Amino acid sequence: MKTKKAANINTSDDTTNMIAKILFVLYLLTAFMPLLGAMDYDAPEWLYVSVLNIISLVFIYKNKETFTPFAFPKHVQQYFLLFIGFFVVGCLSMLTAINVSESLVHLARLATILVALYCLYVFVKQNPTSFFEFMCRIATLIVIYFSWRSIRYFIGNASSPRISEFVIAFPHNFSNANIYTAFLIVQLPFVMYAFVYFKKVWKYLAGVAIFMAILALLFSGSRTAALSLAIILFALLAFIIYGIVKHKATIKKEVIIVALMPIVSTILVLNVNRVDKMSMNSLTTIFQPQAIDFYEGDIAVERNTSNAKDLLPNAINLDNSKGSDSGRFSLWNLAFTNFKENPFLGVGYGNYKAVAKKQHLINHISSKGSYANPRRAHSDFLEKLAETGIIGFLLYVSLFIFPLWLFFKLMRKEKSFLKQFLFFTIFLSALAYTFDALLNFPLERAPIQLYFLLAVIFILTFTQTEAPKEASSSKRSMLLFGIIFLTSFASVASNYLVLKSYQLQRTMRQDLSGKTLFTNQKLNNSYESIKKQWSNYPQLSYVGTVNNVYLANYAIKAKKYDEALEILNKSQNYNKDAFLVKAFKAEIYYHVYHNLDSATYYSEAIFDNYPSFKTNYRLLKGIYNKQNDTVNLARVMNRYTKLNWVDVHEWKVKANTIYNRTKNSELMLKVLDTGLTYNTNSNILLKAKKEVLDKLKFKSYLSNEEVKAKHQIAFTFFRQQKYEDAKGVFQEILKTNPKDYLSVQNIGIIDLVQKNYEKAIKNLSVVITADAFSDGKAEYSRGYCYEQLGQMDKARADYTVSRAKKYPQAMSLPETKYNK
């Protein structure tokens, strides 16, 4: 009987361990979550993890005798206390938060991390070595799957040039390529362990996974991940060599294979997606891809296509540096500035989205002038310093320092190279995460965050201390479980509301995209239906702009302008800048109330702080054009192009605007040369300059006598039925005298004679619209064309007008031609 009972217990334990491993795998599959119609993958991912936490907690509670869920060694208790301390400081920081709803969103995610850490620790501590090897196998399969996405895209489009637009279009199923590459890099050390120590199929699969991952990372072009890869490979090779020399480890072939993989991968990547079909790409092309405009111009200058070298400008002294800082250094400086303003509690956990960003956006550059609101500091460490102050920052840093200290203790104590290699693998994964946290924001990305948690858990579980003691009483255990369950349910509720908000944002954004607000264009959703679905949690959108701006857009489309203004007025304190709130207020005052003073006030307030926001810049130009205020028009154009020098299209617009107002070709060329100085070899600007120079080769304007002489030549060709020659002369006149409507009309009549009726209608319509002649010939000729095309209603209308002008041929028409 006893033997049978023991067998049942073993079977039960095996089942429990199997379910624990299934739940463990489900955590690792977070990156497979679909978008679910949301604006960003983070919303469904965090909801998935928080729901999985509750399932895991129920499973742990039902098997509490097996898992002993509160039997924590002292060092594990210390780590959890550090984490809980960071969470508590985050909660306290809400006292100084700019936007409390945003703090709640991110604190709910932090609670999700904390509960996931607890659940995974309880699973792994049962058998850390077994879970480690199991994780290496799962990571190998995941890396192969996600690496294939990159390889398939870039090699599958091998003939497409590696321009910035092509790289951005890579469908990696993450919010951006940096998140995708960080996800791969934190798993790579575990795959490398499998390659070195596993046997047969798993060894080969791991080798393939490493090669595919390196290829995927290089194709994706993430500089942070490439640097992490270099550090990992160098550290791993150094450690393997140490093992060969110190411990006589027999793994020399793995060293050679791993060392060759990045070399072979780099050669392959440089020869796929060539920008110049005559030569392979450079490393700069891989890690800093440019727009096609730059590459086309660069190739044209190098090969002197259409004498492109002659179009390059002479040296021009610029007022500001070309290297305007709108990248990470600017964001880091912004974070540090906010920390200095609130050194103890910070600006509020999760509130970097909401802080004023004038300091950063004043120098922001964008080739398309699109709106941007940096929601992350691109450094978790500096972001938490700004958001939670010095105490929160120190607690956050301790979450990295504490396991690092335990790792060094493990390495000193352990004599087996195999075990040392296992610990070193865990360290490399944590190092890759830490490096990414210094330069990016993996704390907010569940798939990456989970690998850091697992790295910490493995360090905690492999650290040998005194035997853990279970919680002293069942009541205390129940209380702890109750707190964890309540925390988990709260995080699920918050994460669910965020997902619903993101889904509604996507619906509205797709509905509003491409629509002009102040027109009668219909939307798929009404203002009333959107209001019924509206939730003011969170108050900020997924990119940190005020969410109510979407609602105000629908009010505008419903022509409820006062209501739209009321919504915008109530929302202007949800974040510090509120640029979009001010922008739509400016639009309403400009388009609806025709209040140029108010429109100018809000538009200038945005332009002063965020000059590269092009929609606002265009509105401001429109205001000053309407007022014929050339001084302010020149001011805003000069400031925009000086600060947002990468917008080559605006340099061209500015040059044309200046020419239209001054008729000064030399001044126009100087603007284009300045644009070319900022944007070396821009093909758009090279072509614009060539077009101006080609026009200047002609005489600037023909006199009336010269025009008459050319008309006579053309009429002679016409009488001789040399229609193309006649048309050529008329077109030559129009090159320098574009408003010579007699030439336009005669080209139209030639098209009529040649039975090119649609072309004829186009030219004759230009003449008629300009009301150039009063003889009715153009109307009669266009009517004839419409008649030949079977459009009798339009023909009758033109014949009627021509008859009113007494054109002889129209007067002789039968009545059926002009009356129904």
Measured CA to CA, the distance from residue 361 to residue 341 in angstroms comes to 19
Q: Which residues pair with 72 in a beta bridge?
A: 469
CA distances from 68 to 118, 119, 277, 460, 472 (A): 12, 12, 64, 16, 12
Kindly indicate the confidence band of residue 566, based on its pLDDT and cuts at 50, 70 and 90.
very high
pLDDT for residue 2 is more than 50: no
Contact of 335 with 382, CB cutoff 8 Å: yes
In this predicted structure, what is the pLDDT of residue 468?
A: 62
Average pLDDT score over residue span 71-91: 96
Give per-residue burial for 760-794: e unless 16+ CB within 10 Å, then b: bbbbbebbbeeeeeeebbbbbbbbbbbbeeeeeee
Cα 510 → chain centroid: 16
Give 731-758 as a DSSP string: HHHHHH-TT-HHHHHHHHHHHHHTT-HH
Contact of 450 with 49, CB cutoff 8 Å: yes
Measured CA to CA, the distance from residue 628 to residue 286 in angstroms comes to 47
**Type and span of the H or E element at 154:** helix 128-156
Average pLDDT score over residue span 581-599: 95
Where is average pLDDT lowest: 83-87, 309-313, 719-723?
Answer: 309-313
Contact of 389 with 343, CB cutoff 8 Å: yes
Measured CA to CA, the distance from residue 652 to residue 637 in angstroms comes to 11
Percentage of residues of the chain with pLDDT beyond 90: 69
Average pLDDT score over residue span 428-442: 95
Average pLDDT score over residue span 619-626: 94
Of 676, 680, 677, 735, the C-alpha closest to 706 is 735
Cα 455 → chain centroid: 29
In this predicted structure, what is the pLDDT of residue 4?
A: 41
Average pLDDT score over residue span 430-456: 96
User: In the 3-class helix/strand/coil scheme, how is 644-675 assigned residue by residue?
Assistant: CCCCHHHHHHHHHHHHHHHCCHHHHHHHHHHH
pLDDT for residue 323 is more than 50: no
Burial class (CB in 10 A: 0-12, 13-18, 19+), 562: exposed
Of 548, 587, 588, the C-alpha closest to 568 is 548
pLDDT for residue 168 is more than 80: yes
DSSP 8-state class, residue 296: H
Using the structure block, give the residue that is written with the tokens 């492999």.
462
Kindly indicate the confidence band of residue 133, based on its pLDDT and cuts at 50, 70 and 90.
very high
Where is average pLDDT lowest: 90-104, 231-245, 703-717?
Answer: 703-717
Question: Residue 141 has which token pair?
Answer: 């399969």
Of residues 319 and 279, more confidence is placed in 279
Question: In sequence order, what are the residues at sequence separation of 6 or more whose Cβ sits closer than 8 angstroms to the Cβ of residue 106?
Answer: 90, 349, 350, 444
Question: In sequence order, what are the residues at sequence separation of 6 or more whose Cβ sits closer than 8 angstroms to the Cβ of residue 283?
Answer: 270
In this predicted structure, what is the pLDDT of residue 584?
A: 95
Percentage of residues of the chain with pLDDT beyond 70: 95
Measured CA to CA, the distance from residue 748 to residue 731 in angstroms comes to 12
CA distances from 51 to 20, 23, 706 (A): 16, 12, 83
pLDDT for residue 485 is more than 60: yes
Per residue in 11-30, pLDDT tens? 667 899 999 999 999 999 99
Question: In sequence order, what are the residues at sequence separation of 6 or more whose Cβ sits closer than 8 angstroms to the Cβ of residue 337?
Answer: 359
Measured CA to CA, the distance from residue 425 to residue 198 in angstroms comes to 14
pLDDT for residue 190 is more than 80: yes
Measured CA to CA, the distance from residue 498 to residue 44 in angstroms comes to 9
Contact of 505 with 37, CB cutoff 8 Å: no
In this predicted structure, what is the pLDDT of residue 322?
A: 47
Question: Residue 759 has which token pair?
Answer: 């072309």
User: In the 3-class helix/strand/coil scheme, how is 299-342 assigned residue by residue?
Assistant: HHHHCCHHHHHHHCCCCCCCCCCCCCCCCHHHHHHHHHHHHHHC
Give 413-428 as a DSSP string: H---HHHHHHHHHHHH
Kindly indicate the confidence band of residue 317, based on its pLDDT and cuts at 50, 70 and 90.
low
Q: Which residues pair with 540 in a beta bridge?
A: 546
Average pLDDT score over residue span 677-689: 91
pLDDT for residue 350 is more than 70: yes
Measured CA to CA, the distance from residue 440 to residue 506 in angstroms comes to 25
Per residue in 360-402, pLDDT tens? 999 999 888 888 888 899 999 999 999 999 999 999 999 999 9
Contact of 762 with 752, CB cutoff 8 Å: no
- For the chain, the average pLDDT equals 90
Q: Can you state the percent helix, strand and coil of the chain, rounding each to 5?
A: 75, 0, 25
Measured CA to CA, the distance from residue 374 to residue 376 in angstroms comes to 6
Average pLDDT score over residue span 406-422: 93
Phi-psi region of 292 (alpha: psi -120 to 50; beta: other; left: phi over 0): alpha
Measured CA to CA, the distance from residue 578 to residue 572 in angstroms comes to 6
Per residue in 793-813, pLDDT tens? 899 889 888 888 888 888 888
In this predicted structure, what is the pLDDT of residue 640?
A: 96
Other CB atoms within 10 Å distance of the CB of residue 526: 13
pLDDT for residue 1 is more than 50: no
In this predicted structure, what is the pLDDT of residue 5?
A: 40
Phi-psi region of 306 (alpha: psi -120 to 50; beta: other; left: phi over 0): left
First to last CA, the chain: 109
In this predicted structure, what is the pLDDT of residue 786?
A: 92
In this predicted structure, what is the pLDDT of residue 327?
A: 82
CA dihedral 734, 739, 743, 747 (to 10 degrees): 80
Question: Residue 581 has which token pair?
Answer: 């709130």
Question: Residue 319 has which token pair?
Answer: 């007022």
Give 433-469 as a DSSP string: HHHHHHHS-GGG-HHHHHHHHHHHHHHHHHS--SPPB
CA distances from 105 to 351, 385, 698 (A): 10, 18, 65
DSSP 8-state class, residue 479: H
* pTM more than 0.75: yes
In this predicted structure, what is the pLDDT of residue 473?
A: 61
In this predicted structure, what is the pLDDT of residue 467?
A: 61
User: In the 3-class helix/strand/coil scheme, how is 763-805 assigned residue by residue?
Assistant: HHHHHHHCCCCCCCHHHHHHHHHHHHCCCHHHHHHHHHHHHHC
